[in-house]
Structure 1
Amino acid sequence: MTLAQRLLLSASLLVATTAAGHAAPKVVASIKPVHSLVAAVMQGVGEPALIVEGAGSPHTYSLKPSQAKALQEADLIFWIGHELEAFLEKPVETIGANAKAVELIDAHGLIKLPFREGGPFEAHDHGEDEGHADAGHDHAHDHAKEHAKDDHKHDHAHDHKHDHAHSHDHAHSHAHTHDHGHKHETAKAAGHDHAHDHGHAHGAFDAHVWLDPENAKAMVSEIAEALAEADPDNAATYEANAASTIARLEALHADIDARLAPVRGKGFIVFHDAYQYFEKRFDISASGSITVSPEVMPGAERITEIKGRIAELGATCVFSEPQFEPKLIQVVTEGTPARAGVLDPLGAGLADGPDLYFGLIDGLATSIQECLGGAS
């Protein structure tokens, strides 16, 4: 490389550095959908690190040394919250103590739905499911009262082995408060009761909030606000990226709404009840779930009951998930006219990056559209 070329390269790097203002903040995101939305807002400035890679479960995941180092050096940590990524509670509190932790489940304007209970969405604690018999589950508790108290025992959705039920007081303070007036809470907030009850005790609301594109818009706004606050020199870029991402989400919403119109009213059954945000947004409805606790496989009685439910409701499809054994779906659908499909709520098979979220939602729609549309 000639001296002139070196000088030109140095000048180019100087201009790029000046345009960016300064080094991008170090950002960590928990699960792939969150990482995708953060990456979309950060385009042109930097890239976030991802914790739960591939098809990993957000609760049984073990931090790698490089990921612990990323948390230690982070300026910002974006996660859904203790309701979902329980394994991150202690690391966020300790390893990532110097970072600002943003719990997106508390994003301003986010729509939260209570858990569905009873009937086809019940766990059925009457002996057929090993592991449920001694769980001490009380499925008669009142969600409305729980929600009014903001005292949560949360369903940790994709956790095969997780056994925490969290009683959480949302009145105590968080390390940071946003201008829109709500407080976020860290894992070390007082009143966080780590009761070792059965893993899927239900709480006030369902944590699968990202499966509604309207909630994704609220999350994008929250992400952009936190990034702009941490890195004001690049605030204009974050705001512009957020605006373009929200426009993409609106287009995605309209496209999927039209695509799912022909299959509305057709029944289907899901592996576990994780999709009501998607269902309500696009006016489709699952007829039931195989189990509300992904870490506990249903027994023979429950399987017989699900088969009866398929017949009773004329369910045309039963959907599994990439993390779970497909043989179970074969057992449940055997002898019924129902077809089998796969729903991937975390984007396990998709490449990380700003486009993953769009591929995830599109993939859910495609799986439902193809399975329901091809079944009579």
Structure 2
Amino acid sequence: MSKRLLGVFSGALSGVMGLAGVALAEAPRVATDIAPVHSLVARVMQGVGEPALIVRPGASPHGYAMRPSEAQALEKADLVIWVGEALAPWLEGSIENLAGTARVIELLDRDETHVLPLREGVAFAASGEDESGHEHEGHEHEGHEHGGHDHQGLDPHVWLDPENAHRWLGLVAGELAAIDPENAAQYAENASAAQAELDTLMAALKAGIAPVRDLPFLVYHDAYQYFEAWAGLHADGAIALGDASNPGPARVAELRDMAQRHNIACVFSEPQFDPRLVERVFGDVAGHGVLDPMASGHAPGPDLYADLMRAMARSLTDCLGTYR
């Protein structure tokens, strides 16, 4: 090849690479808080870019110290999508300080999000009722004021309702299109395809759960009522009072007594908690399973949310199915 042709080829190649760099740079810089939300956003952004994940897998979102790279991702973000201060109170100040110019979507503050009040006490009221027996209407925003950030008494584990996830896919596509109109069609196409995939998956999982819907069980902490309400399940109670608290002897004794009286089929621990408590206290009266609301054992990415739903359904049916 002559030097002249080589120069032309090299210049053309540099131009193509430069254009690719520009296209990559123009992809919106998006930061998300937890892996399940990150997964939904990643699915909508497929073919355009990848969002950043702030809370690393396996870590608790309730209290977290960001790494420099995570703080940098937040600082550079054009768009921040997070559950809200009821889940990660520490993150609100970080967003204000580091991502002051970014568009911020707090999912708990959106009309698209179905929220439920926290359940209280050792034993939970019947599904759909509060402690006084009053029914909650579907998709009510109990204890929640949009725009006022009043999340007191609100259960923040909203991603475990797949109907919320379904609506968020469309919400994310719209938000991305607003800041990146050139890729609006791609975002809409991705969201629509993801919604169809989720519909198919959840119909299959709900059918699989149906045979064990009426069996009583306990959870380690009360993170699952959104999934329960969707699937027609109902936990009888939680071992721990909060996400980061350990149960006292009196609570454990009361729950063990309830497990015996109510013929509890299964008690579920979580990966971040020592399973020996469940085995020691309930080993001779109920089965033992593991639920992971954060999908900490799965690789972050567009497939994680579906993997989370499958794992939840599998854990429930495996343990409760053994009881039958």
Find the aligned partners of 2:61 and 2:296 in 1 and give their Cα distance.
11
**Which residue in 1 is equivalent to 2:71?**
68
Whether the 8 Å contact between 2:31 and 2:74 is mirrored in structure 1 is yes
2:288 is aligned with 1:340: yes
2:94 aligned partner: 91
Letter in 1 for 2:62: H
Counterpart of 1:276? 225
For 1:263, the aligned partner's letter is V
Distance 1:171 1:243 in 2: 28
Mapped partners of 2:243, 2:33: distance in 1? 20
Aligned residues: CA RMSD: 2.8
Aligned ranges for residues 102-251 of structure 1 at < 5 Å? 102-121=105-124, 170-172=146-148, 203-251=152-200
Does the CA contact (< 8 Å) of 1:121 and 1:291 recur in 2? no
Task: Give the superposition deviation at 1:313.
Answer: 1.5
CA distance in 2, matches of 1:9, 1:354: 32
For residue 307 of structure 2, what is the aligned residue in structure 1? 359
Tell me, in whole angstroms, the C-alpha distance in 2 between the residues paired with 1:104 and 1:45: 23
Query: For the residues of structure 1 that align with 2:112 and 2:248, how far apart are their CA atoms?
Result: 40
Is 1:31 the counterpart of 2:31? The answer is no
Which among 45, 49, 73 is matched to residue 46 of structure 1?
Answer: 49
**CA offsets per residue over residues 238-266 of structure 1, 9 Å max, x none?**
11111111111111210111111121111
Whole-angstrom CA distance in 2 between matches of 1:276 and 1:250: 20
Unaligned runs of 5+ in 1: 123-138, 153-168, 173-184, 186-191, 193-201
Q: Distance in 1 between matches of 2:69 and 2:63?
A: 17
Structure 1 residue 294 displacement after superposition? 2.9
Say yes or no: does 1:370 pair with 2:318: yes
Q: Say whether residues 1:303 and 2:306 are aligned partners.
A: no
CA offset at residue 271 of structure 1? 0.4
Check if 1:260 corresponds to 2:209: yes
Deviation at 1:149, TM superposition (A): 11
d(CA) in 2 for partners of 1:21, 1:233 = 13
Output the CA distance in 1 between the equivalents of 2:74 and 2:160.
Answer: 26
SS at match of 1:318: strand
- Asked whether the 8 Å contact 2:34–2:55 carries over to 1, the reply is yes
Contact 1:107 1:219 in 2 (8 A): no
What is the SS of the residue equivalent to 1:110? coil
Residue 136 of structure 1 corresponds to none
Would the alpha carbon gap of residues 25 and 149 (structure 1) be closer, same or farther in structure 2, given more than 3 Å must change?
A: closer
1:81 counterpart residue number: 84
1:150 is displaced (CA, Å) by 7.6
**SS where residue 362 of structure 1 aligns?**
helix
Identity rate, percent = 44
Assess if the C-alpha contact under 8 Å between 2:122 and 2:238 holds in 1. no
Q: Secondary structure at the match of 1:330?
A: helix
Cα distance in 2 between the residues matched to 1:293 and 1:91: 24
Q: Label 1:295 to 1:121 Cα distance change in 2 as closer, same or farther (>3 A).
A: farther
Count residues in correspondence.
311
Q: Does the 8 Å contact 2:109/2:147 carry over to 1?
A: no
How far apart are residue 326 of structure 1 and its match?
Answer: 1.2
Q: Is the 8 A contact 2:295 2:308 kept in 1?
A: yes
- Structure 2: gaps (5+ residues): 126-130
